[in-house]
């Protein structure tokens, strides 16, 4: 890569750097190392923002590798070791490139400040390093459509170039340096302070803090053992509404100076004050199947009212600046749901609805730029803030979530093209605007399978949680073979989800045979020689089975759902179809015949597991969006067991899910939010009747917001897995650390 020059990046060069860093992070050299990814992202952010004084070994150890402040780098050389690995991987990346790039990243020995080495400007791409339609220019566009389409795409191209080739040079400054988790920032309407959620209080859970926007000094305004997060400041700046996980979760209100909180409404999340301060807009979510609903309630409490009632799913609502409109992401009930999913605009007074057309904008942008935007956040999209004619949202383009904006008029009309405003090499899903400034949370998240030893006699953990997998991707839904030698799990590799196998003791992983666009929900046969899994094929959910030793997969059924358990005699597989009101189904492995085993109208039955003796089923029973309990029933594949024979295991708890039998069948393990946070529980059962024989006990407290059972990762809770062996428990957990950043001029 000849003719290199060292030059401080201007706005155009910053955009080229950001594109290039995304390419590096998606390369094979960085695909399996979460540590190096975090280090590179941190060094890039610090160097671009000019915070070179922070690029010291001890600071990097604390902020990137979560070492305790004051640790001894002479005794713990993790920063030096990872920096050496990073230099080597960058060299490998550039050695493997088939074509030269405008910029090259260099990390000199003895330094943690990156250098940006540039080719001669004359050799840069004519417009942008992003991909363009094959063939280029008007000729390609003419082949794609007629003269009208050419003019439309050309206009989009001009707008796209203006937004991306010569973007505004951002000023980025870090606001928090405490480590841990700092999320959900919101502005005081007059720009005096920022309220956000943080675990900096030392208890492991999130509490609300108020930061002076000029000095950066922060004081705590809520306290307690439950997570307090997702704040919204009233227009007058005197009170803050927020989501608290206490008492089953809901929206509470407290003075911004701190004080006694009061409950506004149960079950709500992400409150948003109306511009006049009279209303709180919020939504309610079922975390598994996402049939969310949006509501309003008087800001001081009272009767709530559901909005957009004819929508199958509605979530992430935000107010327009004048309070006359509400924009939300939703799917309308119709004969063709694919045609009804978009961001919608609701007239708050009349109730009239119309599509914003945002997804059409995203499609046109992808066709022209070659960059596909995937709306991120809570499954279907995440509008974040509507301010000064700009709509701020979180989306993915590549591997990471970043912040984007769209021009929007007062009535919700979207115009122009989306513009990415943050680097997008981290997880950036919460932000707020005020004037020309944007405050946002940027962090690092990993999802891995973890394991912990357990003594089934005492129902106590006998050691610490340890990783069973480690990758820069997402690894979840673990299953373990009956002899405890093989681990199956789902993983996101190359933009799609598949099922992978590896020995519990370690070693290389292998993928099951690829069928459908994605795969998940692995379960082992009783002899451990076969793994069954779900494959999505068009709109159907097939179940396949493949030998663990390798070979061709066999389709057991073309349309069942997710397998959840394999009977000890090998004849039957339990499955759930995945509908909004699912049942427990049973599939004959040999004949392919399927039928309903357990069902009740209005109840969702999920995650059914067969005991090792083959006589009982434990299952999760859902009533509504938040009432989940564990029940047991006898296993008889020849008949439907009536509901009056079911046994309630959750008589003294609530919000319980993902049951797993102990090896002897004398206890059931499950995940519960009964104590206010997502924890691991167990309950002893009578050996014969399977009725509760003792009170349920909490055996692992999931208080720590940065590391627990999907506190931060937004995917169906069944992906936690909860696999039990003779000596251990396996489950998927997320780890998340984040800091607050300010985009725009500093507050004076």
Got the DSSP string for 108-144? -TT--SEEEEE--GGGS-SS-SS---TT-HHHHHHHH
Q: Within a domain: residue 647? A: yes
Rounded CA gap, 377 and 361, in Å?
19
**462-466: long-range contacts, CB 8 A cutoff, minimum separation 24:** 465/733
Q: Within a domain: residue 408? A: no
Rounded CA gap, 215 and 380, in Å?
37
Rounded CA gap, 517 and 540, in Å?
11
Question: Each residue of 156-180: b (16+ CB within 10 Å) or e?
Answer: bbebbeebbbebeeeebbbbbebbb
**Residue 34: CA count within 13 A, CB half-sphere:** 19
Angle, to 10 degrees, between the axis of helix 147-164 and the axis of helix 137-144?
A: 130
- The token pair that represents 201 in the structure block: 């209080």
pLDDT tens-digit readout, 448-494 = 999 999 999 999 999 999 999 987 678 999 999 999 999 999 998 76
**193-197: long-range contacts, CB 8 A cutoff, minimum separation 24:** 193/256, 194/439, 194/740, 195/221, 195/231, 195/233, 195/240, 195/256, 196/231, 196/441, 196/740, 197/227, 197/228, 197/229, 197/230, 197/231, 197/242
Show which of 107, 128, 149 is a domain's final residue: 128
Question: In angstroms, what CA-CA distances link 705 with 17, 364, 472?
Answer: 33, 39, 20
Task: State the pTM of this model.
Answer: 0.74
Q: Within a domain: residue 497? A: yes
Residue whose C-alpha is closest to residue 443's, from 421, 426, 422, 430: 426
Count helices and strands in the chain by DSSP H and E runs: 7, 52
Q: Within a domain: residue 303? A: no
Question: In angstroms, what CA-CA distances link 467 with 68, 504, 619, 717?
Answer: 21, 11, 27, 19
- Asked if residue 699 lies in contact with residue 689, where contact means CB atoms within 8 angstroms, the answer is no
Structural domain total, the chain: 2
Rounded CA gap, 210 and 292, in Å?
30
Range of the domain at 56: 5-128
For 14: left if phi > 0, alpha if psi spans -120 to 50, otherwise beta; the answer is alpha
Rounded CA gap, 413 and 461, in Å?
55
Show which of 98, 128, 158 is a domain's final residue: 128
Residue whose C-alpha is closest to residue 658's, from 606, 708, 703: 606
Rounded CA gap, 602 and 505, in Å?
43
**Residue 343: CA count within 13 A, CB half-sphere:** 28
- The token pair that represents 628 in the structure block: 């989940």
- The token pair that represents 734 in the structure block: 């997320």
- Asked if residue 582 lies in contact with residue 603, where contact means CB atoms within 8 angstroms, the answer is no
Got the DSSP string for 219-284? EE---SSS-EEEEEE-TTSSEEEEEE-GGG-EEEEEETT----EEEEES-EEEEE-TTSSEEEEEE
Q: Within a domain: residue 554? A: yes
Rounded CA gap, 614 and 665, in Å?
10
Rounded CA gap, 668 and 323, in Å?
50
Q: What is the dihedral of CA 66, 68, 73, 79, to 10 degrees?
A: 10
In the block, which residue shows the tokens 């309990």? Answer: 629
Q: Within a domain: residue 306? A: no
Q: Within a domain: residue 399? A: no
Weakly modelled stretches of the chain, pLDDT under 50: 1-3, 6, 122-169, 288-289, 376-380
- Asked if residue 244 lies in contact with residue 250, where contact means CB atoms within 8 angstroms, the answer is yes
- Give the dihedral sign, CA 262/185/436/348: negative
The predicted pLDDT at position 341 comes to: 80
Rounded CA gap, 57 and 62, in Å?
9
Question: Each residue of 38-71: b (16+ CB within 10 Å) or e?
Answer: bbbbbbbbbbbbeeeeebebebbbbbbbebeeee
Report helix, strand or coil for 515. Answer: coil
Length, in residues, of the chain: 748
As beta bridge partners, residue 723 has: 730
pLDDT tens-digit readout, 206-227 = 999 999 998 999 999 999 888 9
- Asked if residue 692 lies in contact with residue 651, where contact means CB atoms within 8 angstroms, the answer is yes
Q: Within a domain: residue 505? A: yes
68 contacts: CB under 8 Å, gap ≥ 6: 62
Rounded CA gap, 308 and 285, in Å?
15
Show which of 83, 107, 128 is a domain's final residue: 128
As beta bridge partners, residue 392 has: 385, 405
603: domain CATH number is 2.120.10.30
- Asked if residue 494 lies in contact with residue 471, where contact means CB atoms within 8 angstroms, the answer is no
Q: Are strands 707-708 and 103-107 parallel, antiparallel or unpaired?
A: unpaired
């Amino acid at each position: 890569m000849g003719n290199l020059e060292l030059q401080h990046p201007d706005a155009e060069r910053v955009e080229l750097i950001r594109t290039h860093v995304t390419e590096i992070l998606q390369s094979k050299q960085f695909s399996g190392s979460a540590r190096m990814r975090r280090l590179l992202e941190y060094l890039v952010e610090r160097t671009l923002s000019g915070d070179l004084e922070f690029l010291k070994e001890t600071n990097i150890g604390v902020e990137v590798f979560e070492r305790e402040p004051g640790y001894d780098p002479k005794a713990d050389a993790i920063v030096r070791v990872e920096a050496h690995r990073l230099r080597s991987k960058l060299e490998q990346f550039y050695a493997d490139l088939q074509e030269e790039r405008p910029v090259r990243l260099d990390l000199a020995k003895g330094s943690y400040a990156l250098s940006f080495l540039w080719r001669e400007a004359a050799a840069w791409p004519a417009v942008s390093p992003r991909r363009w339609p094959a063939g280029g220019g008007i000729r390609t566009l003419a082949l794609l459509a007629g003269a009208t389409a050419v003019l439309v795409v050309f206009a989009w191209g001009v707008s796209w170039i203006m937004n991306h080739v010569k973007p505004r040079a951002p000023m980025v400054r870090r606001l928090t340096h405490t480590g841990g988790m700092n999320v959900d920032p919101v502005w005081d309407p007059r720009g005096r302070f920022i309220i956000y959620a943080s675990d900096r209080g030392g208890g492991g859970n999130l509490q609300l803090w108020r930061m002076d926007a000029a000095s950066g000094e922060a004081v705590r305004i809520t306290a307690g053992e439950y997570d307090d997060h997702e704040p919204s400041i009233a227009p007058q700046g005197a009170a803050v509404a927020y989501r608290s996980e206490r008492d089953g979760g809901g929206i509470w209100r407290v003075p911004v100076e701190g004080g006694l909180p009061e409950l506004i409404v149960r079950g709500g999340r992400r409150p948003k004050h109306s511009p006049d301060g009279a209303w709180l807009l919020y939504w309610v979510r079922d975390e598994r199947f996402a049939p969310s609903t949006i509501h309003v309630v008087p800001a001081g409490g009272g009767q709530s009212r559901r909005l957009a009632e004819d929508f199958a799913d509605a979530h992430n609502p935000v107010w327009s600046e004048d309070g006359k409109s509400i924009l939300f992401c939703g799917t309308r009930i119709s004969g063709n749901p694919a045609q009804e999913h978009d961001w919608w605009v609701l007239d708050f007074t009349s109730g009239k609805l119309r599509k914003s057309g945002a997804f059409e904008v995203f499609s046109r942008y992808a066709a022209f730029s070659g960059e596909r935007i995937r709306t991120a956040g809570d499954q279907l999209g995440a509008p974040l803030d509507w301010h000064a004619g700009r709509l701020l949202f979180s989306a993915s383009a590549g591997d990471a979530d970043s912040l984007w904006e769209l021009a929007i008029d007062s009535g919700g009309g979207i115009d122009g093209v989306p513009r990415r405003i943050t680097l997008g090499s981290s997880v950036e899903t919460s932000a707020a605007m005020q004037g020309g400034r944007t405050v946002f949370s940027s962090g690092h998240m990993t999802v891995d399978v973890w394991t912990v030893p357990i003594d089934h006699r005492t129902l106590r953990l006998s050691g610490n949680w340890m990783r069973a997998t480690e990758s820069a991707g997402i690894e979840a839904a673990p299953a373990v073979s009956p002899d405890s030698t093989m681990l199956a799990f789902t993983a996101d590799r190359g933009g799609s989800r598949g099922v992978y196998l590896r020995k519990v003791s370690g070693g290389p992983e292998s993928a099951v045979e690829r069928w459908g666009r994605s795969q998940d929900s692995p379960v082992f046969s009783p002899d451990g020689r076969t793994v069954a899994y779900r494959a999505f094929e068009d709109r159907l959910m097939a179940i396949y089975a493949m030998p663990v030793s390798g070979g061709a997969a066999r389709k057991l059924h073309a349309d069942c759902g997710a397998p959840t358990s394999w009977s000890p005699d090998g004849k039957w597989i339990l499955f759930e179809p995945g509908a909004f009101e699912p049942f427990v189904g049973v599939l004959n492995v040999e004949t392919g015949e399927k039928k309903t085993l357990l069902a009740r109208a209005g109840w969702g039955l999920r995650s059914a597991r067969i005991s090792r003796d083959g006589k009982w089923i434990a299952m999760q029973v859902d009533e509504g969006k938040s009432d989940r309990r564990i029940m047991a029933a006898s296993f008889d594949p020849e008949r439907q067991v009536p509901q009056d024979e079911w046994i309630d295991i959750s008589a003294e708890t609530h919000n319980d899910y993902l049951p797993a039998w102990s090896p002897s069948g004398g206890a059931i393990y499950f995940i519960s939010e009964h104590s206010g946070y997502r924890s691991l529980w167990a309950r002893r059962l009578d050996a014969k009747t399977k009725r509760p024989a003792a009170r349920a006990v909490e055996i692992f407290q999931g208080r720590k917001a940065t590391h627990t059972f999907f506190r931060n990762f937004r995917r169906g809770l069944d992906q936690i897995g909860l696999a039990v062996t003779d000596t251990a428990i396996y489950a998927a957990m997320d780890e998340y650390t984040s800091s607050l950043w300010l985009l725009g001029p500093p507050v004076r």
